[in-house]
């Protein structure tokens, strides 16, 4: 059967399984077929291996047979109900071992480890397949990795070539079916692998699908690997014995307590390397009395949202357990700069008492508590506190050198160690930042910093960057989602004077955030902006646009929770915008536990508080008016809002903020951030990164810009986004992608009559939809191309749909193609979608597409005569029937843009020329607000522009057909235009007839070179074309100094034409 499969090119799960087993054998695992193992059907331990390991490891203890059985049974008889608790107890026993009381009471107890963490060669490693396990029913996992007879890793594979077999199916197999049917096996499994050979991910048997991640490096410093190569990096980088054993030892974290999420945390590859590298750096720079380093343990540069808190947790365990002697049983102090971060970080650390092997892990509540806790302590303890608790009066707390301070968000208030001058009416004073008082309290401590946006001061205070994991890498690995940027400044249009004021403000604050003085300067500048930002008319327009945009965003994905954050410049600004939005959406102010119509389970409903959908989050001020004072609430009220906003089931969907929550605030279901506050540098990156967390059904985070942060954002991304790579996708680029895919799909569907879908009854539209799906599937090539391009269309549509930039025709056409896609069996490529959320969204999309009647364009492409003659009598009648001049102008603009875009696929040079002419008319139209016209004059002005547009349209149509008069083909005409343009631009003589003849020769030359599919990417063919074109131009007397320009334009035109050639 195997030979038959290979001969016929079949590469199924069995073939993949055998290939992966071979890779494990290369890593010193011994392969065993489960069918050959003698055991009871429900026995999952390889007892002989475990016994052999114990006998060899503890040979000097001369364990009796009864004692060996006691060790085995202690592991074997942990209950698997409830499964999470059983799995956690089993893992901790394997991870920590236990003290065995000897049968001989005169002998002391001995510590037993089920894995030898120090001498890994003593461990017995096996890769086992075909092992059928009897539980509640019989199941057979694909592959199990055994260490000393214990099944620690479960692997499930799916074929890479079957479109209906995805790694999502592998995930369900493990986390649903195996956990349900064979818990006697999965109780032992602390790691889980899902793979199809191309997509290879690591998690646990409880990990949600979206938190399974690939392991893209074998060693630190290696280049990231994706796709097929990620299988090798996963096996060699995470599952090879010298890597698997350390991961099991220190990099799997089971929270203490009930752990409502029931999810253990396994490290990702940047966390594994980052924690180990930081440990080495701290060890080298450790400050000890009379000896040692400078106390600068180093800086970890990790993208916001990549899991730095858990990296700090893993590092803390390594310091407490692996470097305990070197660090002299250290005291670890985790320092944050805000109370909400204190709560968030403390929640993680306080659930890790067992993991950290220290009973005193807690948050420091007050300065008195800080002094009381640290003054008399000699070692141990892990504490989370805010930097603000350190002040001049704190004084010296400890001179010990076994104190390690870990600063989170090390780019903000934790770098102020130098003196500054403060001038008041009473004189000039020397003042210091909190960081200086922290070092006064612990003069011999070692300090390290974690940040997503390191600034020069960070490196000066904490030492150089030890490891980095950038925004680009994080988005590429799927650890965070990409961020889309959508400028909507024009939709709340400011006057030229107001825009100039904002620009002047940006210029004045070029170095905002570097020092306390500059921050104060920026705050003063902000107050002058309030006149612009809080203008009532502007706020009303902004509120109207915001609610429309958010409604459209939520409607596009009704099955996905999409929360929003609105960032304002001041509390008054936030309050006024809050009232404007509430006036438009009064229902957003009505308290409820969950959105109307939501069905929740009892477990999902627990902890929900009745709240309005929109809340203002800010601190109180004693002088606030009563309503604002009540809205802001107490500290406990804000903590409650924090918990509810993080809960995806809560009715609280829209948060209006000023300074709170814009950094270090983790809400995976936060999908969109509306920015109406000047931001730059690290503050800007930290703020927009709130929307980059992974969440089920969330393809990207969206930043909507109402004030104009684009330039600042590009500078910030260049500084913090890895060598200037921009992970933020510009909306305009996405619009171009959307329209290009729409055009390609129109070509694919050529020959199918879809008019019933756009104009028929609901039943006729449904019938049309089904016929379209049938049409697509009649040819495999057509199906493959349709599914590929419609997938790209869907991603672009999700970004573009809420922007208001799409025409009604584009929306209706896109919905048609996406509805067709939804009734065809999805081809899975790369990341498998979340099935439940996707199905619900597709069902909603189909329902909306069928029931939507749409708004008909005045000049509708569907109503054009056969052949698309835009100058037919019917077209001109329709145009003349439009009484409103601006409506007529807009219709012509849309038509011209589409026509120029279509012409650009066959003649880039002339399309560019017509585009410039169109832009001049548009620019004239855009200046109408500067002219003091009466209404009638405006109408005449716009009518005159419409006449110019019609002339332009006629010229375009004439040029499009001029190839016939010249005796040229479409493509030859494009090369002719290149020759004429270069001639005219540089003013040299060359006859028209020569241009015509030469264009025909160029077309023959290009056709010859482009007969290969990859011609445009092969340097040898491009070089050959360049040489042949040079000779051709020379032979025909075309001036040689313009050869390069002609080649570049010919290459561009030929590539574009061949790409769009039907």
Interior/surface letters 212-234, b for 16+ CB within 10 angstroms, e for the rest: bbbbbbbeeeeebbbeeebbebb
pLDDT digits (tens, 9 = 90+) for 965-985: 777 777 788 778 888 888 888
Angle at 695 between CA 694 and CA 701, to 5 degrees: 65
Angle at 113 between CA 109 and CA 115, to 5 degrees: 165
More confident residue, 1045 or 682: 1045
Angle at 244 between CA 354 and CA 41, to 5 degrees: 90
pLDDT digits (tens, 9 = 90+) for 417-439: 544 445 445 544 545 667 778 88
- C-alpha to C-alpha distances, 520 to 421, 481, 514, 525, 529, nearest whole angstrom: 13, 34, 11, 9, 15
- Fold agreement between 269-469 and 483-726: yes
Mean pLDDT highest for which of 146-160, 432-446, 896-910, 959-973? 146-160
| CB contact at 8 A, 177 and 139 | yes
CATH architecture of 2-254: Alpha-Beta Complex (3.90)
Q: What percent of the chain has pLDDT over 70?
A: 76
- CA atoms within 13 Å, Cβ hemisphere of 729: 22
Interior/surface letters 68-98, b for 16+ CB within 10 angstroms, e for the rest: bebbbeebbebebeebbbbbbebbeebbebb
**Range with the lowest mean pLDDT among 87-91, 763-767, 914-918?**
763-767
Taking each helix axis from N to C terminus, what angle separates 780-800 and 762-777, rounded to the nearest 10 degrees? 130
Residue 1019 has pLDDT above 70, yes or no: yes
Return the pLDDT at 654. 96
Mean pLDDT highest for which of 156-170, 436-450, 752-766, 783-797? 436-450
Start-to-end CA span in the chain (Å)? 43
CATH architecture of 483-726: 3-Layer(aba) Sandwich (3.40)
User: Strands 150-157 and 701-705, how do they pair?
Assistant: unpaired
Cis peptide before 82 (omega within 30 of 0): yes
**Range with the lowest mean pLDDT among 281-295, 485-499, 666-680?**
485-499
Under the banding of pLDDT at 50, 70 and 90, the label for residue 534 is confident
Whole-number Å distance between alpha carbons of 520 and 538: 27
Residue 588 has pLDDT above 60, yes or no: yes
Whole-number Å distance between alpha carbons of 490 and 499: 11
Q: Compute how many other C-beta atoms are within 10 angstroms of the C-beta atom of residue 780.
A: 8
Residue 1004 has pLDDT above 50, yes or no: yes
Write out 828-874 in H/E/C secondary structure. Answer: CCCCCCCHHHHHHHHHHHHHHHHHCCCCCCCCCHHHCCCCCCCCCHH
The three-state secondary structure class of 92 is: helix
CB within 8 Å of 1060: residues ≥ 6 apart: 743, 905, 906
Domain 269-469 has CATH 3.90.870.10: no
pLDDT digits (tens, 9 = 90+) for 852-883: 322 222 333 333 333 344 445 555 566 665 55
| Domain parsing of the chain, residue ranges | 2-254, 269-469, 483-726, 733-856, 863-966, 970-1060
Note the helical H segments in 612-729: 626-632, 635-646, 681-688, 710-720
Q: What is the mean pLDDT of residues 737-759?
A: 88
């Amino acid at each position: 059967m195997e030979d038959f499969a290979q001969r016929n090119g079949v590469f199924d799960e069995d073939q993949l399984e055998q290939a992966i087993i071979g890779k494990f054998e290369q890593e010193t695992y011994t392969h065993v077929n489960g069918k050959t193992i003698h055991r009871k059907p429900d026995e999952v331990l390889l007892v002989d291996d475990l016994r052999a390991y114990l006998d060899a490891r503890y040979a000097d203890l001369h364990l009796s047979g009864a004692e060996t059985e006691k060790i085995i049974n202690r592991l074997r008889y942990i209950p698997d109900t409830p499964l999470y608790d059983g799995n956690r107890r089993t893992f901790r026993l394997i991870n920590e071992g236990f003290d065995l009381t000897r049968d001989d009471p005169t002998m002391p107890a001995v510590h037993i480890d089920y894995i030898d963490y120090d001498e890994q060669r003593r461990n017995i490693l096996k890769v086992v397949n075909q092992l059928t396990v009897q539980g509640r029913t019989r199941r057979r996992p694909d592959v199990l990795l055994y260490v000393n007879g214990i099944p620690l890793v479960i692997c499930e594979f799916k074929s890479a070539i079957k479109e209906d077999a995805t790694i999502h199916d592998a995930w369900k197999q493990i986390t649903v079916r195996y956990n349900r049917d064979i818990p006697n096996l999965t109780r032992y499994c602390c790691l889980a692998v899902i793979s199809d050979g191309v997509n290879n991910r690591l998690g646990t048997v409880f990990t949600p699908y979206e938190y399974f991640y690939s392991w893209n490096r074998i060693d630190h410093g290696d280049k990231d690997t994706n796709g097929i190569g990620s299988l090798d990096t996963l096996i060699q980088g995470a599952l090879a014995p010298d890597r698997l054993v350390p991961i099991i030892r220190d990099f799997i974290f089971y929270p203490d307590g009930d752990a409502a999420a029931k999810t253990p945390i396994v490290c990702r590859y940047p966390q594994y390397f980052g924690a180990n590298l930081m440990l080495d750096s701290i060890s080298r720079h450790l400050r000890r009395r009379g000896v040692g380093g400078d106390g600068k343990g180093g800086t970890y540069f990790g993208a916001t949202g990549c899991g730095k808190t858990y990296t700090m947790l893993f590092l803390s365990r390594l310091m407490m357990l692996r470097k305990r002697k070197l660090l002299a049983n250290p005291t670890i102090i985790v320092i944050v700069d805000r109370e909400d971060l204190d709560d968030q970080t403390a929640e993680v650390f306080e659930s890790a008492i067992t993991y950290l092997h220290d009973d005193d892990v807690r948050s420091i509540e007050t300065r008195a508590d800080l002094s009381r806790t640290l003054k008399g302590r000699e070692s141990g303890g892990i504490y989370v506190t805010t930097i603000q608790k350190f002040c001049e009066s704190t004084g010296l707390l400890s001179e010990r050198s076994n104190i390690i301070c870990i600063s989170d968000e090390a780019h903000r208030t934790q770098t102020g160690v130098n003196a500054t001058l403060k001038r008041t009416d009473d004189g000039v004073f020397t003042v210091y930042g909190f960081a200086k008082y922290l070092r006064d309290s612990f003069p011999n401590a070692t300090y390290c910093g974690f940040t997503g946006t390191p600034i020069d001061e960070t490196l000066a205070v904490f030492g150089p960057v030890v490891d980095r994991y950038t925004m680009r890498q994080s988005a590429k690995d799927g650890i965070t989602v990409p961020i889309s940027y959508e400028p909507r400044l024009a939709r709340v249009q400011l006057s030229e004077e107001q825009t100039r004021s904002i620009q002047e403000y940006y210029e004045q604050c070029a170095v905002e955030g570097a020092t306390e003085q500059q921050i104060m300067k920026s705050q003063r500048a902000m107050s002058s902006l309030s006149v612009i930002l809080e203008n009532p008319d502007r706020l009303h327009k902004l509120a109207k646009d915001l609610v429309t945009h958010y409604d459209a965003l939520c409607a596009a994905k009704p099955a996905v929770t999409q929360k929003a954050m609105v960032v304002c410049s001041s509390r008054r600004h936030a309050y006024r915008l809050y009232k404007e939005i509430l006036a438009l959406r009064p229902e957003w102010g009505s308290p409820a536990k969950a959105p109307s119509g939501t069905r929740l389970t009892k477990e999902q409903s627990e902890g929900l508080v009745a709240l309005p959908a929109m809340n203002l989050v800010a601190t109180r001020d004693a002088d606030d008016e009563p309503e604002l004072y009540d809205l802001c609430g107490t500290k406990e009220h804000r903590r409650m809002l924090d918990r509810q906003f993080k809960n995806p089931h809560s009715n609280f969907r829209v948060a209006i903020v000023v300074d709170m929550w814009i950094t270090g605030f983790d809400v995976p279901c936060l999908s969109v951030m509306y920015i109406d506050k000047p931001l730059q540098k690290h503050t800007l990156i930290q703020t927009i990164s709130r929307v980059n967390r992974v969440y089920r059904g969330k393809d990207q985070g969206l930043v909507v810009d109402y004030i104009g942060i684009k330039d600042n954002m590009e500078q910030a991304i260049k500084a913090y986004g890895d060598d200037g790579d921009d992970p933020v996708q510009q909306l305009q680029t996405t619009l171009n992608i959307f329209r290009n895919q729409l055009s390609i799909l129109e070509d694919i569907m050529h020959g199918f009559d879809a008019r019933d879908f756009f104009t028929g009854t609901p039943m006729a539209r449904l019938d049309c939809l089904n016929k379209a799906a049938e049409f697509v599937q009649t040819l495999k090539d057509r199906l493959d191309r349709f599914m590929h391009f419609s997938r790209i269309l869907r991603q672009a549509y999700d970004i573009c749909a809420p922007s208001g930039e799409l025409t009604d025709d584009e929306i209706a056409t896109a919905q048609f193609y996406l509805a067709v896609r939804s009734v065809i069996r999805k081809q899975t490529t790369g990341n498998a979608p979340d099935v439940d959320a996707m199905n619900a969204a597709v069902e909603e999309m189909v329902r909306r597409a069928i029931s939507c009647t749409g708004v008909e364009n005045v000049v509708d492409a569907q109503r054009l005569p056969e052949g698309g003659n835009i100058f037919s009598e019917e077209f001109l009648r329709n145009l003349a029937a439009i009484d409103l001049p601006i409506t007529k102008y807009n219709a012509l603009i849309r038509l011209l843009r589409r026509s120029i875009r279509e012409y650009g696929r066959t003649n880039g040079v002339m399309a560019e020329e017509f585009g410039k002419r169109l832009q001049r008319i548009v620019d004239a139209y855009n200046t109408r607000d500067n002219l003091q016209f009466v209404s009638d004059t405006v109408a005449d002005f716009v009518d005159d522009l419409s006449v110019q547009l019609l002339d332009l349209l006629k010229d375009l149509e004439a040029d499009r057909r001029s190839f016939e008069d010249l005796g040229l083909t479409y493509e030859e005409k494009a090369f002719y235009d290149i020759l004429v343009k270069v001639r005219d631009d540089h003013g040299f003589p060359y006859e028209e007839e020569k241009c015509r003849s030469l264009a025909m020769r160029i077309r023959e030359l290009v056709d010859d070179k482009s007969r290969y599919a990859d011609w445009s990417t092969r340097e040898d063919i491009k070089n050959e074309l360049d040489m042949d074109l040079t000779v051709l131009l020379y032979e025909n007397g075309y001036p040689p100094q313009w050869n390069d320009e002609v080649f570049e334009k010919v290459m561009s035109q030929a590539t574009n034409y061949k790409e769009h050639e039907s």
